[in-house]
Every structure is written in structure tokens, then in C-alpha cells.
Structure 1
């Protein structure tokens, strides 16, 4: 490290800022910087900004640098400002300053940086989206398997109504699909290429921005050059989508934790996902659920920090959105990927304890809503009258510590007679049917309900959405694979002096 306080960079600046940025840039060079240099060279040759001989010389030097440079072994010395200037210095050493300096025609570190960041983000979004689709498939498989499996649905922490595990998971699937749609919408912004914006206003050279986007596998160039450098909404949209996905999955995880508690006990977590206490041998601790909550919270917090960094920044070129920030954001993707993988495995393995569900239904009278609804349909009562009769019935059953099916008919008959001044036409057998959880679910056959017909239609719709997401991902991957092959071919032409 340089020690001369009179020369740039000052040692403390080099140690605290430039050296960490240099280390971060090494990763981008290995993954994407070489592609950007090659694509820009091809474009300059194709547009005639560079003659064929000059382009071939620069191309050969780039190949030599790629072959000879041990990127992982590099450390920041302060001899050059950053990694970009290191590559330019290598070009000068091999070609001389005149030819070497021509590669930078019509571009800036500004458009290069945002292009590198977008290329890095696209790969991470694609990998995370694939994991999210995997989780959605796992949820959907389990929902189909458990489409008729009764559970207790809770509101405000208290038993509310019976439904099925399949119906519950379908709700989680719908949220996850919307989260995936938000992530894909963010990717569409990321997939617009900044190259050619140069510092912020493009250039007077006849560069081809659409060609650069094509060679690098972007869907199109981002149109406004000021926006290419200043907007950075590709950062905020991406991490906002990631934050929401983790927030929403965290709510699902909270339910899994609650349902697996001893007192509720309707969710059975198999031994493969259970840790035993080091001192209490009777304990079955579903610790992976806690880790899911922890990891989702960490991922969400990291994603939110990206939005916080962007808050109250100027609408212009700024360091706030660049290397340090981008590197921090990648950790959110790593954490989120772990959440999606672990939750996929857990959801596929858990089952519902039917006996515990049945006991909880019996103790809580949660089918009594259907008693009120049935009285409206069968006896022609207003819902308010029917609700009062059902409430009186439930109150008597709870006081007797019985179940609605076994102990509810007598108090029902009394409450009905007191309210209506006549006996009900519902006999005991019909009463038992009405208050059964199976009947409760079966009659809720409206759009979006838990009955088999609407639930199966919902499943088919989720399949179609997931198939569309997968097809779109395959199309993008094919386009980018084709762009990579095209760039290699065009670069070879430049190397041969035919550009």
C-alpha cells in the first residue's frame, strides 16, 4: 500500500474504500467484465468506430490478459484507482497508450458499472425465481395430497372455522405466485441494458446501443441515458420484491410454528426435522421452523437495507448504488435461497394430526357458523335470528364441555323454540350432519372455497401460472445462451481482423 500522503490515494482512503471495492470488482471481472469488454469491442468494430486491425490488436490483448491475469491473487496496491484502470493499464502495457485507449471510446465507468450490476442481478434473480417455483410446486403437491384433510383455521389466535390443509396451502401459493410476479417484473427492469449511456448523455460516436444489448443478452437497451445512470430503480424494485417474498413467507412460517406447538398440535413435523433437547429427553423441537423464521427475517432485513440506502439519494450518478451496496445485497439472495430450499423440503414432509384436529374441532364448536347458515336456508329465518340461536347453542355446549355433535341438539332445540315460538324441523340426525366439519367444507363450493370443485380448479390455475413462469424463464435463458454464443462468434471474427 502506498504511504505518500501527498499522492492519491491517501492510505486511509485506499484501505477503507478502494481496496474493498477492488476486491468486489474482481468477482464482477471474473463473471461479466470480460463479456462487456468483448461486446463493446465487437460493436466498435462493426460500426466502424475502430478499424479491423486496431480491433484485432485490442481483442488479442484482452485474450492475453484473461489468460495471464490471476484475478484471485490480486491485491490492491494503489498504483491504479480501481479494477477498471488495472485492465486499462494492462492493455497499455501490451499495446501502448494509443491503441489501448481506443477500447474506451463511447463508454464510461458509469454505464459499465450498472451493466455489470445488472448482469449479476439477473443471474441471482433467475436462480431465486427457480427456487421459488420449486417451493410453489412443493406447496402445490402437498396441497393436492391434503386437499380433503381437515384443519382448524384460526383468527386472532383462536379457533375460527374448519377448512382443509389443501385450502390453506392454496392461499400461501397464491401469495407466492404474486411474489414471483413482482420478482419477474423487477427482472424486466434489470433486463434493460445501460451500455451506451456513457457518463450520462450518450456520446457523439456512432455506437449501436441495441447491438450492445443484444450481444450481452439483454432484452433491449434502457432508453433514456440519464435514467441508465441515475434511476437505479432496478435495485429498489428487485429488493422490494425480495423483501415482500420473505415477509410473506415469514407469516406462513409463524403458522407452522404455532400449529406444531404441543397445545395446538395439528401439524406433525417428522423426526428428520426435529431436534431433541440435550437435557429433556421428551422434547421434540421442530427447530428448522425457527431457522426458517430467522433466515427469512435476515433476508428481509438485508433487502430492506438496500431500499434504505437508496432513500434520499440524489437522482444522478452516485456511489450509494454501486459496488459496496451491490455486494451487500447479494447476501439477501443467498439467505432467501436457503429459506426457499428449506421450506420446500419441510412442506413436503409435514402431515396433519387428524385426531388432534378432530378433538380441537369438537372442543371449539367451530362448525356452528354452518348451523346458523343452514337455519336460514331450511327454516327461512333471518341470519341474525339464526346467529342468536347458534350462539346460544354453542354457549351451552362449551359450558357442558361437550362437542357440538354430541351435546348440541338439546340446547339447539330449546334455543330455537324460545326464539321462534315453534320447534325446528331439523331432527337430530340432520343436526349432526349440519354441524359436521365435512359438511361445513363440502357446502362451501363457491369460487375460492375449500370444497373439492373450486379447490381443484384453483390448483389447475396455479399449474398454468407456474408453467408460464417456467416457459418465460426458459425463453430468457435461451436468449442469453444464444447471445453468449453470438458474442463468442463475433469476437472471433474481430480477432481474425475481419471485423
Structure 2
């Protein structure tokens, strides 16, 4: 018989039972559900709603159920609908009528809100750790490649010489922001809703603060209607997860490009590549491509949650059962991508010579020639035009700016002199940009040190 079946005269249709049940996916909340129930029973005993002996029996029974689930000895019942009623049903079967007292002063509405918040807190902590490991890998790579010159791009066209270290540090900044967003999301998730009941609290004299302390929550919800219907924290997490995936996708797009024959900047380790079933020569960056592809599903999880919540009246509605699969998928996808991305980057081979060769092509030092003239007193807009003409001349003559003679330069402007050649080599161009946040080795070292200080907070 259903735990809520008192007013019903018919059993639930089997089709409805399967459609209605969430145990197939919310069973992953079993630890949080049992921890929350132990805390609830402990609080009920503290305030005298149940006796100390009843508390002891309930807590012991729940601990035994937890051990049985973790050892694989429990088969969940679809007819019991969800993890909450499955656990309660198991408890009643184990300790009898006393087990039925556990749900005193509690609803599944505040219970599920509690479980999801506890679960998400744990997962945010795990994802932050994975992000930290990824950032540490990027920092180590940056330190190895402070002098590795490569072209920086705009519009996917070669623009100016930078270093690989500088390029990687751009992603460090992205992932540090992601960690910060998760920390902020954690703060709003860290609110204990238990005691809100179905929507209107309870007439029992609960000690909600005590329950929050037992469960490690920093705050207690202030409105029972909001507490059971709020899923902002889940939406916020999925938004943060979408940004993480967007950053991973951008990085992986560059890995895909860089590993192509057209760029040949890197070679991925065999362990993080695949081959072709028909073309023997192929080495495909499938890991990077899959991460790029999986970004869309996390975006979908976010949109699904927002759409599900749009227009819902207060308080709880069954629509909200749809929160879990989207949230779980976003968590699983982000974690899986982070776990495989870090070793893919750590094991790749960087082809420094190809990067340097590319940096010397495409007139990436043209801005430095214009800056040279500006430092000689030529207005920058005039310098820009002069160098543009120099580039056009080089294209006609199939030369680089370094290959132009001083005589050729002086036909364009009398301000050019021999010292020009000291400043237009691509290595110098990158090293000369010492401004904070720039690609010069000392600037990148400072950025690495600053990132490590930030990372130490997590």
C-alpha cells in the first residue's frame, strides 16, 4: 500500500506508476536522504517529539539501510515512487511502527529540497577540485612555455606574436572565474529547507537551527513557500556549468585546430586520440571533439530547468521532479569532461618550431613596426598607414618585414633607422610586452604567481 494511500480507493495504474516514479534516477540521492533523515530524527528526539529510544531505533535502522544499499543488497521498488519513500518503506520493514514516526513534521517537498541541496554541495566541491587540478596543469604548462613564441589570432588570422604560456593563461583566468562562480553558487545552495513542510511549515516545535548544524548548513531558509519551490540554486549551477563547458569547448576547439596538419602546433598523445576505420594514417582528436560536442547538452540542461520553472505557481508542483535529471546530467557531463581534459593537455607534445615559424609569418610584427614609428614621434595613425604600405610592398615582393632593407624602409619614412631590426623579431615583440597581463615572460610569471595565490584559497 502507498504511504499516502489512505484517501484512495483504487491502486495506481501501472502505466501511471512507471510514468510517475523517479526512483530510476533519484536513487543516487540515497546518502543525502539517509543523512537528512538521521539528522531529522535526532532533532525530533532532542525536542521531545519522539523518545530517545525511538530516536536510537530510527538512527540505527537508517545506518543499517545505508550499509545495505552500499553493499548492493537493496533492490529499490518502483511502486514506492522515489528514494524518500523507498528508504521510509525499508525502515518500516526493518524496525516496525517506530519507523513510521520518522516522517513526523516533514514533507517530501522539504525533504527533496534538502537532498538536492546536500547533493549539489558535495558535487560543487568535487567539481571545484577538478577545476583546480586543471588550472594547476595549465599553470605547469605555462611555466614550461614562457619562451615558446606563437602567433596570437583575431578573426582566426595571425595578429601579433605572443607565447604559448600567455595563451594558456587566458584559460586559467576563465577557469578561475568558474571556480569563483561555483563558490558563489555554493553559498546560495548552503541553505537548509527542512522544517518547511509541504509549504506552510509545521505546528511541531522543531529546532531547525540544530538540524542545520547537524547537516553542516550555513543558513536556514526564511520562507517555507520559497524553500520548497526554490530551484534557483540548481539553475545557477547549470549556468555556471554551461560557462565551464563553454570555456572547455573553446580550449578544445583550439586543440583540434592546433593538432591539424594545417597548424601542426601540437600532437596529442596516442592515449587521448583515436584512429579511422578506413584511413590508416588518421589520428583524430576525438576527446577534444567530444568535450566540444557535450557542451550542447549542458546548455540544454540549463534551458530545460529554466523552461520547467517558467510560470510555475507556488509552491511545489510535480513538474519540479524534472529538475533532477537535468541537474544530474550537467554534473556528470562537466565532471567527465574535466577528468579527461586535464590528462589530454598534460600529455600533449608542443611543436615549438612550428609555432615560432607561424609567428614569423603573416606580418605579426607589423604593430611593433608602427609602435617603433610612434616612439619616434610619428602620430600612430600615420605610422599605421606607413606600415600598411610596407606590408603591401612585402606582399608584392614576397618578403617579410624583417627582409626589407633599410633603404626600402626609408623610402616610406625617414624615421626608420638601423635600430628597427632590434625590435621587430617575433621573440622580441613578445618579450617587449611587459605590461601587466601581457605575454612577456616576466609578466606571465607574475600572472602565474597571482593565479597560484588565488588557487590556494580553494
**Residues 434, 271 of structure 1: alpha-carbon distance in 2 compared, 3 angstrom cutoff:** same
Aligned residue for 2:153, secondary structure, equals: strand
Match among 340, 349, 369 for residue 347 of structure 2: 349
Aligned to 2:440: 451
Match among 353, 359, 362 for residue 360 of structure 2: 362
Q: In the TM superposition, what are the counterparts of 1:166-181 in structure 2 within 5 Å?
A: 166-181=165-180
- Is residue 11 of structure 1 aligned with residue 14 of structure 2? yes
- Is residue 104 of structure 1 aligned with residue 106 of structure 2? no
- Is residue 292 of structure 1 aligned with residue 283 of structure 2? no
Instruction: Confirm or deny: 8 A CA contact 2:106 2:198 kept in the other structure.
Output: yes
How far the C-alpha of 1:63 sits from its partner, in A, is 5.4
How far the C-alpha of 1:451 sits from its partner, in A, is 1.1
**Residues 360, 57 of structure 1: alpha-carbon distance in 2 compared, 3 angstrom cutoff:** closer
How far the C-alpha of 1:86 sits from its partner, in A, is 4.8
Instruction: Confirm or deny: 8 A CA contact 2:265 2:355 kept in the other structure.
Output: yes
- Is residue 268 of structure 1 aligned with residue 270 of structure 2? no
Instruction: Confirm or deny: 8 A CA contact 1:392 1:412 kept in the other structure.
Output: no
What residue ranges of structure 2 are gaps of 5+ in the alignment?
A: 3-7
- Runs of 4+ in structure 1 off by over 6 angstroms are 67-71
Aligned to 2:387: 390
Aligned residue for 1:364, secondary structure, equals: coil
Instruction: Confirm or deny: 8 A CA contact 1:240 1:304 kept in the other structure.
Output: no
How far the C-alpha of 1:405 sits from its partner, in A, is 0.8
How far the C-alpha of 1:314 sits from its partner, in A, is 2.9
Aligned to 1:472: none
Aligned to 1:479: none
- Is residue 235 of structure 1 aligned with residue 237 of structure 2? no
How far the C-alpha of 1:228 sits from its partner, in A, is 1.1
Aligned residue for 1:73, secondary structure, equals: coil
Instruction: Confirm or deny: 8 A CA contact 2:275 2:284 kept in the other structure.
Output: yes
Give the distance between the partners of 1:55 and 1:159, measured in 2 at CA: 70
Give the distance between the partners of 2:352 and 2:61, measured in 1 at CA: 70
How far the C-alpha of 1:60 sits from its partner, in A, is 5.1
Instruction: Confirm or deny: 8 A CA contact 1:26 1:72 kept in the other structure.
Output: no
Give the distance between the partners of 1:64 and 1:346, measured in 2 at CA: 42
Task: Let me know the Cα RMSD of the aligned residues.
Answer: 2.7
Give the distance between the partners of 2:425 and 2:207, measured in 1 at CA: 70
How far the C-alpha of 1:227 sits from its partner, in A, is 2.0
**Residues 373, 109 of structure 1: alpha-carbon distance in 2 compared, 3 angstrom cutoff:** same
Aligned residue for 2:158, secondary structure, equals: strand
**Residues 315, 158 of structure 1: alpha-carbon distance in 2 compared, 3 angstrom cutoff:** farther
- Is residue 400 of structure 1 aligned with residue 389 of structure 2? no
Deviations 1:205-261 (A, max 9, x none): 221111111111222222332221122111111111101110122112112222222
Deviations 1:99-122 (A, max 9, x none): 544332221111111111112222
Aligned to 2:307: 308
Aligned residue for 2:160, secondary structure, equals: strand
Greater RCO (Cα-Cα under 8 Å, separation 6 or more): 1
Aligned to 1:426: 417
How far the C-alpha of 1:93 sits from its partner, in A, is 5.7
TM-score (norm 2): 0.90
- Is residue 464 of structure 1 aligned with residue 453 of structure 2? yes
Aligned to 1:163: 162
Aligned residue for 1:153, secondary structure, equals: strand
Instruction: Confirm or deny: 8 A CA contact 1:240 1:307 kept in the other structure.
Output: no
How far the C-alpha of 1:408 sits from its partner, in A, is 5.5
Instruction: Confirm or deny: 8 A CA contact 2:242 2:295 kept in the other structure.
Output: no
Instruction: Confirm or deny: 8 A CA contact 1:268 1:350 kept in the other structure.
Output: yes
Instruction: Confirm or deny: 8 A CA contact 2:267 2:349 kept in the other structure.
Output: yes
- Is residue 123 of structure 1 aligned with residue 132 of structure 2? no
Aligned to 2:46: 46
Give the distance between the partners of 1:95 and 1:354, measured in 2 at CA: 68
Match among 74, 77, 80 for residue 75 of structure 1: 77
Give the distance between the partners of 2:359 and 2:67, measured in 1 at CA: 70
- Is residue 55 of structure 1 aligned with residue 55 of structure 2? yes
**Residues 65, 281 of structure 1: alpha-carbon distance in 2 compared, 3 angstrom cutoff:** closer
Aligned residue for 1:162, secondary structure, equals: strand
**Residues 346, 411 of structure 1: alpha-carbon distance in 2 compared, 3 angstrom cutoff:** farther
Aligned to 1:337: 335
Aligned to 1:27: 28
Aligned residue for 1:285, secondary structure, equals: coil
Give the distance between the partners of 1:64 and 1:161, measured in 2 at CA: 64
**Residues 115, 154 of structure 1: alpha-carbon distance in 2 compared, 3 angstrom cutoff:** same
